Amino acid sequence: MKVSGKPKKPWPTRDAMEQVYSKNLWGGSRSAFYSGAGSHHSEIIDPYIATVASFLKSFKSPPVVCDLGCGDFNVGKELVNFAGQYKAVDIVEPLIRYNSEKFIQKNLEFYCLDIATDDLPSGNIVILRQVLQHLSNDEIHAILRKLVNFDYLILTEHLPEGNFKPNIGIISGQGTRLKKNSGVDISAPPFSFKFKEKKQLLSIPAMNHKGIIETLLYRIH
């Protein structure tokens, strides 16, 4: 009779994400950091940038924005000018070092943090763009608990089209819940994120991949 071994221990998220960039698992040239088509294809990012920029410009005073999981900053660099301060965070230290040298503005700071375990920078608005979809439910729980200190959350997720079972658990890393016909819905169990108001800002086809890319605005306070 075959005896099954112990379940494989998940790789630490920092190690998994460092491998994504060091081995170009999301594409791109070997000589550069690349956060994938979702951060570069104009059909995806142009509507997003226009929509989020419009929201940021609606404030009387430019808000302090925390971009959690900023990646290669191809999208974030287009939003910096609409923020009083822009705090860009990622878990991959070589990526943050590279971004800090490439993107220099007075109102821009980069931080190398694990957003599930480290304290977050302060701000008015938090951006999470296709970040939670790569994380385990435990890490998502830990992150959401910290968002009570912000006024707004702009959340973007790659979701299946039509009906799906939300928040099926995965191991953190390159993949997402799509292959399980699932996606992250923070308002559903086990997260049941509390907010004052929710509004859909954008929903666009995911191009060569199945599903849609949806951006929601949550007013937390």
Residue 1 lies in a domain: no
- Residue 1: its pLDDT value, please? 44
pTM of the predicted structure, to 2 decimals: 0.90
Residues 6+ apart with CB under 8 A from 46: none
Q: Is the model's pLDDT at 23 over the cut of 80?
A: no
Using one digit for the tens of pLDDT, what is the confidence trace for 146-185?
Answer: 999 999 999 999 999 999 999 999 998 878 999 999 999 9
Q: Is the model's pLDDT at 8 over the cut of 90?
A: no
Q: Is the model's pLDDT at 34 over the cut of 60?
A: yes
Residue 97 lies in a domain: yes
| Strand segments (E) across the chain | 64-68, 85-90, 108-112, 125-129, 152-159, 197-205, 212-219
Q: Is the model's pLDDT at 101 over the cut of 80?
A: yes
Q: Residue 210's domain spans which residues?
A: 13-219
- Residue 10: its pLDDT value, please? 63
Average pLDDT value for residue range 45-52: 97
Residue 2 lies in a domain: no
Residue 104 lies in a domain: yes
160: domain CATH number?
3.40.50.150
Residue 192 lies in a domain: yes
- Residue 7: its pLDDT value, please? 52
Residue 106 pLDDT grade (very low, low, confident, very high; cuts 50, 70, 90): very high
Average pLDDT value for residue range 135-150: 96
Are 178 and 130 in contact by the 8 Å Cβ rule? The answer is: no
- For the chain, give the mean pLDDT: 89
Are 142 and 117 in contact by the 8 Å Cβ rule? The answer is: yes
Residue 107 lies in a domain: yes
Count of domains for the chain: 1
Residue 161 lies in a domain: yes
Residues 6+ apart with CB under 8 A from 102: 73
Q: Is the model's pLDDT at 76 over the cut of 80?
A: yes
